[in-house]
Amino acid sequence: MHYDPRKKNHGLPHDPFLSLVVPRPIGWISTVSRSGVVNLAPYSYFSAMCSRPPHVVFGSGGRKDSQRNAEETGEFVCNLATFDLREEMNQSSADYGQEESEPQAIGLELAPSINVRAPRVARAPAALECQYIKTIDIPDEQGNPISHSIVLGRVVGIYINDQIIRDGQVDLRGLGVLSRLGYTEYGVLDTIFAMARPASTQVKSGHGG
Ligand SMILES: Cc1cc2nc3c(=O)[nH]c(=O)nc-3n(C[C@H](O)[C@H](O)[C@H](O)COP(=O)(O)O)c2cc1C
């Protein structure tokens, strides 16, 4: 089949697009509101965009609390979600009011970050402390805003649980790092293999992908 997403003429009961961009990492984003409420929500429109210096993005469908807090306070933290945190991750996506704190509501322990005020999820094996840089608004075909945005952040602090550093490398084996697939499906990182870049490849500074 072939379809035009502008016409939504796929003829399937559910939009297949999101099951084709997979697996998506989950940025489990903690922020603090201007009034001091800690917010936590998962975002699978999330990725690293540059490694030297490290930068990340997340995409928000509407100006949700995470985007608003990042913009207003200039900070956010991306926590790594694992299989044993899957229920809490999912719970934190529920509709909580602006003045409600998801971690408090679901009883999830937080730990202080070092370089930003927004805390991290204590049980997450890694967390990226970010400074908000800018929001890129996604326009429709006529160039009008559709209230979907990409939030760009610079990573200024990185927490790694020492237990996952083995032989000088981050070793994610056995952690069950979660990824988002289409529909209601998720994946767990369970097969890892190594492959060296071709001998002639010049790895240019700043492009580690
Ligand atoms: C695994 C998962 C991934 C999600 N990814 C996104 C996303 O990339 N963008 C988005 O706008 N909402 C996403 N959502 C929905 C938000 O988590 C949800 O709207 C949440 O209430 C937003 O919280 P906030 O207002 O505290 O930021 C996702 C939900 C789940 C369960």
pLDDT tens digits for range 149-158? 999 999 999 9
Cα→Cα distances 44→80, 98, 155, 178, Å: 11, 21, 18, 10
Q: Is residue 203 part of a domain?
A: no
Q: Atom 17, ligand 1: which residue's CA is nearest?
A: 93
With residue 103 as reference, give the H or E element that holds it: helix 102-106
pLDDT of residue 203: 63
Q: What percent of the chain has pLDDT over 90?
A: 94
pLDDT number for residue 21: 97
Q: How many beta carbons lie within 10 A of that of residue 13, not counting itself?
A: 6
Q: How confident is the model at residue 207 (pLDDT cuts 50, 70, 90)?
A: low
- How many residues can be counted in the chain? 209
Question: Do 140 and 146 form a contact (C-beta atoms < 8 A)?
Answer: yes
CA of 86 to the centre of ligand 1 (A): 14
pLDDT of residue 44: 98
pLDDT at 38: 98
Q: Is 179 in the pocket of ligand 1 (CB under 6 A)?
A: no
**Average pLDDT for the chain:** 95
Beta bridge partners of 24: 180
CA of 199 to the centre of ligand 1 (A): 41
**Distance between CA 188 and CA 86 in Å, rounded?**
10
Contact indicator for 13, 183 with CB cutoff of 8 Å: no
Do the domain assignments include residue 136?
A: yes
Segment 88-113 mean pLDDT: 96
Residue 204 has pLDDT above 80, yes or no: no
**Coil, strand or helix at 47:** strand
Q: How many CB atoms lie within 10 A of CB 66?
A: 21
Domain CATH number, residue 28: 2.30.110.10
Q: Which atom of ligand 1 is nearest to the CA of 60?
A: 11
Indicate whether 170 belongs to any domain. yes
Residue 43: other Cβ atoms inside 10 A: 24
Q: In whole angstroms, give the CA distance from residue 56 to residue 74.
A: 14
- pLDDT of 177 over the 70 cut: yes
**13 occurs within a structural domain:** no
Helix (H, G, I), strand (E, B) or coil at 70: helix
Q: Cβ(44) to ligand 1 under 6 A?
A: yes
Domain count, the chain: 1
b/e for 143-182, b at 16 or more Cβ within 10 A? eeeeebbbbbbebbeebeeeebeeeeeeebeebbbbbbbe
Instruction: Look up the domain containing 41 and give its range.
Output: 23-188
Examine residue 202 and state whether it is found in any structural domain, yes or no. no
Q: Is the pLDDT of residue 133 over 80?
A: yes
Nearest CA to ligand 1 atom 21: 93
Residue 40 forms part of a structural domain: yes
Residue 92 Cβ contacting ligand 1 at under 6 Å: no
Predicted confidence at residue 82, as pLDDT, reads 98
pTM above 0.75, yes or no: yes
Percentage of the chain with pLDDT > 70? 97
Q: Is 43 in the pocket of ligand 1 (CB under 6 A)?
A: yes
Is 48 within the bounds of a domain?
yes
Which atom belonging to ligand 1 lies closest to the Cα atom of 94?
21
CA nearest ligand 1 atom 14, residue: 43
Residue 28: CA count within 13 A, CB half-sphere: 31
63 pocket-lining for ligand 1 (C-beta < 6 Å): no
Atom of ligand 1 nearest to the CA of 178: 1
Q: 44 lies in a domain?
A: yes
> What's the pLDDT at 200?
79
pLDDT value of position 208: 66
